[in-house]
Chain A
Amino acid sequence: MTSELAGLTWRQYRLERRMFWRNPSAAFFNFLLPLLFLALFGAIFSSSQSNLDVIVPGIAGMSVMSTTFSALAFNMTFLREQGVLKRVRGTPLPSGAYLGGIALSAVTNTALQVAIVVVAGRLFFGVPWPRDWLELVVFVAAGVVCFAALGVALSHAIPNFDSAPAYVNAIFLPVIFISGVFFDADHAPSFLRDIAEGLPLKHLIDGLSGAMVAGRGLAANASALLVIAVWAAIGLVLAVRGFSWEQRRD
């Protein structure tokens, strides 16, 4: 039974991957946009290694958020409003295998994108190979669970697909600006810093920065991991409780 579930999840995963690559705009937003940001800010900060050391883990954190939070908020709204979720619900495919396939596909994008950012950081921006691989993996994994759950939870609040970009960007853009994607968050005004401290992205970037640049180790960033875990728990509860297989009726 478990192996059958795994087989069906794998099947769904392969289908999701095939469809992902067939949708050029999704592929673009997932892979080229962060690279573009990296290139632009890398050019702006090229004279300062300390700034580059901020921007590379920052973009890596942003990548985690965009491949999970934004992508799943869009996808789940689209699939729900198009009626694909409802159709799938009428088949023998277990819900776990279906949603698992979708989630694994998002995780694949995260892994690919973080890898691209790490490699580009090493090749073009003088950021060394990550000093603590374990910490990198732990933080990316925690970030994936947290932001994937929050993305699915957000999709429940989005009434229709047309308004999805507004909802997603209204959260995504401010959060990446105050969380230190493009600059060291410690230089922000204190009230913005206080808000960012309460949100998960800043802590994810702290953890990634620790793994990639400072080599501070997991223990030093345990509190960051805790904040991410709390948001992950909130996200999971909201994602499960609000889940709907059917189109919104208004």
Chain B
Amino acid sequence: MISRVTGPATAPGSPAAPAASDVGAPAPAIAVRGLRKRYGDFEAVGGIDFDVRRGEVFGLLGPNGAGKTTTVEILEGYRERSEGEVCVLGHDPERRERDLRERVGIVLQSSGMYRHLTVREALRHWSGLYPRPRDVDEVIDLAGLSGKADERTRRLSGGQLRRLDFALALVGDPELIFLDEPTTGFDPAARRNAWDTVRSLRALGKTVLLTTHYLDEAQALADRVAIIKAGTILAEGAPGELGADSARRYQVAYRDRAGDLVERETEDPTSLLHDLTGAALARGERLEALSVTRPTLEDVYLELTADG
């Protein structure tokens, strides 16, 4: 398990040189410092910092409209930032250098495809755009499109088109893959398949930046998660250790003699349990439905993203 990082090495807005700041550690795949994006008066991204390490799956988790897609599209080179420093595989994505685009695979939130090509033709064409492409049939298998290889894309279902999105993003054998809400609209089985694909990318040593508004997806896939809301990062860390203070609080619950549920919060469950159980034993009672729980990612998320 990767341990929690407490925050960026540099202050927001400072002109960081991310590659040089972590002496000894390999340069991160993505470094973001003090990133802001304004549309007129509206600030979609309000000064965020994070690193994505090489070989990890990093999740940007947040409700709709939180600024996830804006952030990712700045990193992909689609949008120009208003402020801050961004470094993707050693490049500034705003300059749209071809070398960077050859090393990056992009699954957009939604994007169309040529309707009159077959799956295999599309992938063959795409593979010709990259210097070291993967084998087309291998990618078709990986994306789970083996049965549809010679089908025209306009005959594919929504889920199959999404798999084609994956396949087109992977055929160039990229080091870094952006997945913007890759499973939105999927049924549970299709989601599991997509998750397996992401895990296989991780096993191949690829770096993945994933946005999602599904907690279970972040929990299942991401090595580290940043929770983003209204253009600000509220928390960052491994999914299991997220939530700083609230994660250290345990909840102890049981039913009292009247059958009412009693809930107590503590940072030291050992002594609380000792007191509770000791008192109960002294009275010759049982603590019905006794449980000790830690907050889940969901609790942390809901607490952090609650309005007001």
Q: How many A-B residue pairs have CB under 8 A?
A: 60
Please tell me if the beta carbons of A92 and B101 are within 8 angstroms of each other in the complex: yes
CB distance from B123 to the nearest CB of A (A): 12
**Does B102 make an interface contact (CB < 8 A)?**
yes
Say whether B113 contacts A94, CB under 8 Å: no
Report B82-113 residues with CB < 8 Å from chain A CB: 98, 101-102, 104, 106, 108, 110-113
Q: Tell me the minimal C-beta distance from A41 to chain B in angstroms.
A: 32
Let me know if A91 is at the binding interface, CB within 8 A.
Answer: yes
In the complex, A93 has a CB within 8 A of chain B: yes
Asked whether any CB of chain B lies closer than 8 Å to the CB of A47, the reply is no
Known contacts A11-B125, A91-B129, A93-B129; decide if A86 and B98 are in contact (CB<8 Å): no
Which residues of B have CB within 8 Å of A90? 76-78, 101, 104, 106, 108
- Complex: A89 Cα to B128 Cα, angstroms: 15
- Name the residue in B114, B128, B168 with the highest tally of chain A Cβ atoms < 10 Å from its Cβ: B114
Cβ 8 A contact of B129, one of A19, A79, A92, A246: A92
* Contact between A87 and B125, CB atoms less than 8 A apart: no
Of B98, B111, B121, B130, the contact of A83 (CB 8 Å cutoff)? B111
Task: Let me know if A240 is at the binding interface, CB within 8 A.
Answer: no
A11 proximity list for chain B (CB < 8 A): 125, 128
B89 vs chain A, min Cβ distance (A): 13
- Please name 26 pairs of A and B residues whose Cβ atoms are closer than 8 Å in the assembled complex, sorted by A: A11-B128, A15-B117, A18-B117, A18-B121, A19-B116, A19-B117, A23-B116, A79-B112, A82-B113, A83-B110, A83-B111, A84-B114, A86-B108, A87-B108, A87-B111, A87-B112, A89-B78, A90-B76, A90-B78, A90-B106, A91-B101, A91-B129, A91-B130, A92-B129, A245-B78, A246-B78
Chain B residues packing against A (C-beta within 8 Å): 76-78, 98, 101-102, 104, 106, 108, 110-114, 116-117, 121, 125-126, 128-130, 152, 168, 172
Name 11 extra pairs, CB < 8 A, besides A11-B125, A91-B172, A245-B78. Answer: A11-B128, A18-B116, A22-B116, A81-B112, A86-B108, A87-B112, A90-B76, A91-B130, A92-B98, A92-B129, A93-B129
